[in-house]
Amino acid sequence: MTDHSYRNVVDLFTGEPIETSANRRVIRLAPELDGLEMLYSNSSNGSDLYTLKILCWGLKANGDVVGLVPWLNSIVACPEIQDPLDGRFEGYYDPGIEEIFHEAPIHKIVELETAAEYFEFEKGKAEEVMQEIPDTIGTHAVFMDEQRENLTLTEVVSWRLYGSGEIHGMLINHDTVETTPVLPGDHCLYPAQGTNDFHYFFQHHIANKIKSEDPEALAAIAALVTSP
């Protein structure tokens, strides 16, 4: 019997060995419920630091636990944000005690590892829904039509983790709502990332500025949607 090795096979999209890519996929989520944040910087603002609320913590197949945030048009592991222009991860932040740290809190590591063991995680089909958690940070999806004239903000209800490790923001299709309130797992939910007009995710404080037509927020949106 032949021993097939995948070490010389690379992922078409990441360019990494298949084994490495598979080990980095998220297999379990735990919502962040205590207001912990991510610290980040960018090259256009010198030494200034900014914060972004952490959506949840994710356990990867290789055992790593990382904070996850809505970032541009996807959900990203905080330590992987390393673009000098758009943003660079600088650590995690607890605003209650003003403490900066660089590893996931032990209570979240224990929670995720215990849950994964309890549910006896096994890799399923890529399209299989493994877990769904509610959005707790007021995330909005931003849509822009092809002419880039009409902008729409839609609240994200939940985040759905698939067997592939992908995480999709779920929105309400109001034409198919049967009962309210709409909860995670409802059949009327659909993924923002599967919609052609979808552009970005924003947390509630930015979304509210856009809704109130704040000039700086509108200028930032205009720059984003017109960039190549």
Q: Which of 2-6, 81-85, 215-219 has the lowest mean pLDDT?
A: 2-6
Q: Give me the residues paired with residue 155 across strands.
A: 140
pLDDT > 90: percent of the chain:
59
Q: Is the pLDDT of residue 192 over 90?
A: yes
pLDDT digits (tens, 9 = 90+) for 149-178: 677 889 999 999 999 999 999 999 999 999
Round the average pLDDT of the chain to a whole number and report it.
Answer: 85
Which one-letter DSSP state was computed for residue 151? E
pLDDT given at position 202: 87
By CB atoms closer than 10 A (0-12, 13-18, 19+), residue 213 is exposed
pLDDT digits (tens, 9 = 90+) for 8-31: 555 555 565 555 667 889 999 999
pLDDT digits (tens, 9 = 90+) for 41-61: 988 777 889 999 999 999 999
Distance CA 80, CA 204 (A): 23
Are residues 200 and 86 in contact, defined by beta-carbon separation less than 8 angstroms?
no
